């Protein structure tokens, strides 16, 4: 069975990836819902002792900004293959590192990317376990963990969470 994973660990994984690969400091936000309009979601799927998906979701301009930072170039003006690839790689790193923390026999899929303004991502038989909002100087994004089985991610009050992540 999977190890219990603290929400704080998931947050630290995301913070570390953004800081290491893009030199961008991010922190947890209380913003719960993705704004209306065009958005993009990149997901990887985990299969084995724990079955589910880990995704990152943001607005189109945000995704373009991430791609620019990731690739060390000016941000593309529209969502193109470079932007999708960059967001997919972010999902791969986040999902891969969460998988490693779970520490059991789990396989990781290739990333998939969806974009548009009217879609829902579901894992068959899954339910949303955690939707974590992040903010940084340039905007916000969301990391969503959906599992068919319960992954022991502890919910913490926002104030306590901020304290523990510091």
Q: How far is the CB of 35 from another protein (least distance, A)?
A: 25
The piece of 33-41, 46-54, 69-77, 121-129 that touches another protein (CB under 8 A) is 69-77
If binding is defined by CB under 8 A, does position 74 make contact with another protein? no
Q: End-to-end CA distance of the chain, in Å?
A: 30
The piece of 51-59, 70-78, 115-123, 157-165 that touches another protein (CB under 8 A) is 70-78
The count of C-alpha atoms lying within 13 angstroms of the C-alpha of 52, restricted to the half-sphere facing its C-beta, is 24
Q: How far is the CB of 14 from another protein (least distance, A)?
A: 10
Map the footprint of another protein across residues 17-46, applying CB under 8 A: 17, 20-21
Q: Look up residue 21 and give its two tokens.
A: 């690969």
Name the nearest CA neighbour of 10 among 97, 91, 106: 97
Element (H, E) at 51: none
Map the footprint of another protein across residues 119-158, applying CB under 8 A: none
Q: Look up residue 2 and give its two tokens.
A: 């999977």
Contacts of 16 (CB under 8 A, 6+ apart): 97
Please give the Cα distance from 77 to 74 (Å, whole number): 9
The correct pick among 95, 142, 146, 151 for binding another protein (CB under 8 A) is 95
If binding is defined by CB under 8 A, does position 69 make contact with another protein? no
Is residue 51 a contact partner of residue 147, using CB atoms and an 8 Å limit?
Answer: yes
If binding is defined by CB under 8 A, does position 110 make contact with another protein? yes
For residue 80, CA distances in Å to 43, 58, 60, 118 come to 17, 15, 10, 18
If binding is defined by CB under 8 A, does position 72 make contact with another protein? yes
The correct pick among 97, 132, 142, 144 for binding another protein (CB under 8 A) is 97
**Footprint on this chain of another protein (rule: CB under 8 A):** 16-17, 20-21, 67, 70-72, 81-82, 85-86, 88-89, 92-93, 95-97, 99-100, 103, 108, 110
């Amino acid at each position: 069975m999977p190890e219990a994973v603290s929400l704080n660990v998931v947050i630290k994984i995301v913070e570390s990836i953004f800081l290491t690969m893009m030199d961008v400091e991010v922190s947890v936000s209380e913003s719960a819902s993705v704004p209306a309009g065009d958005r993009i979601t990149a997901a990887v799927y985990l299969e084995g002792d724990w079955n589910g998906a880990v995704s990152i979701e943001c607005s189109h301009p945000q995704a373009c900004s991430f791609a620019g930072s990731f690739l060390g170039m000016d941000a593309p003006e529209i969502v193109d293959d470079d932007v999708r690839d960059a967001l997919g790689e972010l999902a791969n790193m986040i999902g891969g590192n969460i998988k490693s923390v779970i520490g059991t026999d789990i396989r990781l899929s290739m990333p998939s990317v969806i974009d548009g303004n009217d879609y829902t991502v579901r894992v068959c038989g899954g339910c949303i376990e955690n939707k974590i909002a992040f903010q940084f100087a340039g905007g916000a994004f969301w990391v969503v963990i959906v599992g068919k089985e319960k992954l022991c991610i502890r919910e913490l009050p926002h104030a306590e969470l901020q304290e523990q992540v510091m």
